[in-house]
């Protein structure tokens, strides 16, 4: 229980509304995790995996309607629609609270209401925030144990009058007396799912989904959508960014943060094993960075999460050996294929399926006999970050790590070079504001070749008007001292030749680009000034031991495609038009300057 009157009153109010069978306060202990997991196993919604090969691991299979973030059911309910901006779904907060209060009424009948006090970031860090999630889902409790720091210590720090972010969640499936989930994942129908954020109140309400960021409310809901609002109010940054430490053979170390839209290899980069002899990369975080100015004027970052909630398909010993070694114990797997001997398998794991499996929908599956995948494309693993062999020794430093560089990037088969550096902070903000990935034929809603813009990789996660978000970045630049601000780079691992061949091998070889970034941060690294920014010379990218990338390939990777950029300018103008008068003049000035340099 808690001494915090505001928290006690809120829990009481929610219990009266949702009428659970009982209320349980989580203490964050290993015994609690095991006990709650046993409830999920006894209810038939979880399967313990093979203890010899995957000790302490469990498998969950969700409902086919509950497999990913649901953008069209995710709302920013600010007081006015204008405050939410053109890139967010908005509903009037009064109306939304009424709809959801009706849905919450009696929704926990037959279930336990769990109260989860959690810290985003090391407990007691000046950069951390405390949240409390109420949920009726054992899946949420166990995942929050891994993804955040849960327990009584958090309540002690909160004290009698400390501030917390209330996170209300229910799967939305009450049980009649004697009824059980009968082995089925509990959730509400799609049209009853709501993932709602009230920015002015710093409050999150979620109903109807038990999956991922819809239900683990510390993740995208608190750590990005609400934290981005708080960061603007308090003058810091809450970003959808990985954080890595890179150390030279001489023992010099720098930290780099990077923002990439989904499916652009963020986790792979965060856990990268360099191919350049003598260099070392260590992971601070793979998804979210919170950054505040230190006394020395530099930005210091923490990873507010305590675990990895990663996409399983495509993860292999070739693409990400550190991830594979992280998830071989004490891991929760969701919607992967299950083998006969209770091991896991997914597409892109690096070897063929071992005989008949049970697929993510619970049906028998055999490789080559069906075109349906064994694992859902968004199948996940939840694993403690401390298990990563490449975890940075300072990953839990309460003061954070000093950031020397920001990387932005997306999937662009043409136009955008392998790497270029901004001329200034505002030019770097401009680069972040135009991030996008080229749409493949797999996307049904846009023509192939269209650029889907995802500024700062924050489009689904910014809790307020994106034009104001750009303005906030520009203001941060004014707060920092020019020499201490991180340098800003744009990278693109995804360039292709005209006949569709990859020009750059990616994965561990990306360390060659990181090495140049590292050198630029220290005032070294050869570069030439081009209309789009500073670009490495062909000799500046270390190619020792790199096969398959010729001088001609590298020249193409580092060329300024003037015609391509002129087309890009027209697309950027279209993109900027969405933000109307809220678009900072500094960004239109940067666009005009680029246009002039290309002329």
Reduced to 3 states (helix: H, G, I; strand: E, B; else coil), residue 401 is strand
| Nearest of 240, 201, 325, 256 to residue 511 by alpha carbon | 256
Q: What is the DSSP letter of 502?
A: B
Radius of gyration in angstroms for the set of CA atoms belonging to the chain, rounded to a whole number: 24
Say how many residues make up the chain. 599
Structure tokens belonging to residue 251: 């023992």
Q: Is 597 exposed, middle or buried (0-12, 13-18, 19+ CB in 10 A)?
A: middle
What distance in Å separates the CA atoms of residue 76 and residue 198, rounded to the nearest whole number?
A: 6
Cβ–Cβ under 8 Å, residues 409 and 435: yes
Q: Is 221 a catalytic residue?
A: no
> How many helices and strands (H and E) does the chain possess?
16, 30
What distance in Å separates the CA atoms of residue 533 and residue 597, rounded to the nearest whole number?
A: 10
Crossing angle of helices 466-479/425-433, nearest 10°?
A: 160
| Nearest of 20, 224, 46 to residue 115 by alpha carbon | 20
What distance in Å separates the CA atoms of residue 209 and residue 232, rounded to the nearest whole number?
A: 29
Single out the catalytic residue among 57, 107, 167, 264: 264
Cβ–Cβ under 8 Å, residues 451 and 437: yes
Cβ–Cβ under 8 Å, residues 276 and 509: no
What distance in Å separates the CA atoms of residue 509 and residue 491, rounded to the nearest whole number?
A: 13
Left, alpha or beta for 522 (phi > 0: left; psi -120 to 50: alpha)? alpha
Cβ within 8 Å of residue 93, ≥6 positions away: 77, 78, 79, 198, 200
> What phi, psi does 471 have (nearest 5°)?
-60, -40
Cβ–Cβ under 8 Å, residues 456 and 433: yes
Q: Hey, which residues are catalytic here?
A: 264
């Amino acid at each position: 229980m808690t001494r915090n009157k505001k928290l006690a009153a809120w829990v009481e109010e929610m219990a009266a509304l949702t009428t659970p069978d009982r209320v349980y306060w989580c203490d964050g202990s290993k015994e609690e995790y095991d006990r709650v997991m046993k409830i999920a196993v006894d209810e038939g919604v979880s399967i313990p995996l093979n203890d010899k090969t995957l000790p302490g691991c469990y498998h969950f299979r969700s409902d086919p309607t509950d497999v990913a973030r649901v953008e069209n059911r995710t709302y920013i309910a600010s007081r006015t629609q204008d405050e939410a901006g053109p890139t967010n779904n908005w509903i009037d907060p009064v109306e939304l609270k009424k709809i959801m209060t009706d849905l919450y009424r009696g929704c926990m009948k037959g279930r336990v209401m769990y109260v989860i006090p959690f810290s985003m970031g090391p407990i007691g860090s000046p950069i951390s925030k405390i949240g409390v999630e109420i949920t009726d889902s054992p899946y949420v409790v166990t995942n929050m144990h891994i993804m955040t720091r849960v327990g009584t210590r958090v309540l002690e720090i909160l004290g009698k009058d400390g501030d917390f972010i209330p996170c209300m969640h229910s799967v939305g499936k009450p049980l009649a007396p004697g009824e059980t989930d009968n082995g089925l994942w509990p959730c509400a129908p799609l049209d009853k799912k709501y993932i709602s954020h009230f920015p002015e109140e710093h409050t999150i309400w979620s109903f109807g989904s038990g999956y991922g960021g819809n239900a683990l409310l510390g993740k995208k809901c608190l750590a990005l959508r609400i934290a981005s609002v708080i960061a603007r109010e308090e003058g810091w940054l809450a970003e959808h960014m990985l954080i890595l430490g890179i150390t030279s053979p001489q023992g010099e170390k720098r930290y780099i943060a990077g923002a990439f839209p989904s499916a652009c290899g963020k986790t792979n980069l965060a856990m990268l094993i360099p191919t350049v002899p003598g260099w070392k990369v260590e992971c601070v975080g793979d998804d979210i960075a919170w950054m505040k100015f230190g006394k020395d004027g530099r930005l210091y970052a923490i990873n507010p999460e305590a675990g990895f909630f990663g996409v399983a398909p495509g993860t292999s010993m070739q693409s990400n050996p550190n991830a594979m070694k992280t998830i071989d114990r004490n891991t929760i797997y969701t919607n992967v294929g299950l083998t006969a001997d209770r091991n896991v398998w997914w597409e892109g794991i690096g070897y063929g399926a071992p005989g008949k499996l049970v697929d993510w929908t619970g049906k028998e599956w055999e490789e080559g006999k069906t075109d349906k995948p064994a694992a859902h494309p968004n199948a996940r693993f939840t694993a403690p970050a401390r298990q990563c062999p490449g975890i940075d020794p300072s990953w839990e430093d309460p003061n954070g790590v000093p950031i020397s560089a920001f990387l932005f990037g997306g999937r662009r088969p043409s136009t955008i070079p392998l790497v270029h550096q901004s001329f200034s902070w505002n030019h770097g903000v401009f680069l972040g504001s135009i991030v996008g990935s080229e749409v493949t034929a797999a996307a049904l809603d846009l023509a192939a070749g269209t650029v889907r813009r995802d500024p700062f990789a924050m489009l689904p996660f910014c809790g307020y008007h994106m034009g104001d978000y750009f303005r906030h970045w520009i203001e941060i630049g004014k707060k920092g001292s020019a020499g201490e601000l991180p340098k800003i780079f744009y990278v693109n691992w995804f360039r292709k030749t005209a006949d569709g061949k990859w020009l750059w091998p990616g994965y561990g070889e990306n360390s060659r680009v990181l090495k140049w970034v590292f050198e630029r941060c220290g005032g070294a690294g050869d570069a030439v000034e081009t209309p789009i920014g500073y670009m490495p010379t062909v000799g500046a990218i270390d190619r020792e031991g790199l096969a398959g990338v010729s001088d001609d390939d590298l020249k193409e990777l580092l060329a300024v495609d003037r015609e391509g950029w002129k087309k890009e300018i027209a697309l950027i103008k279209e993109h900027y038009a969405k933000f109307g008068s809220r678009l900072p003049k500094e960004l239109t000035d940067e666009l005009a300057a680029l246009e002039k340099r290309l002329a």
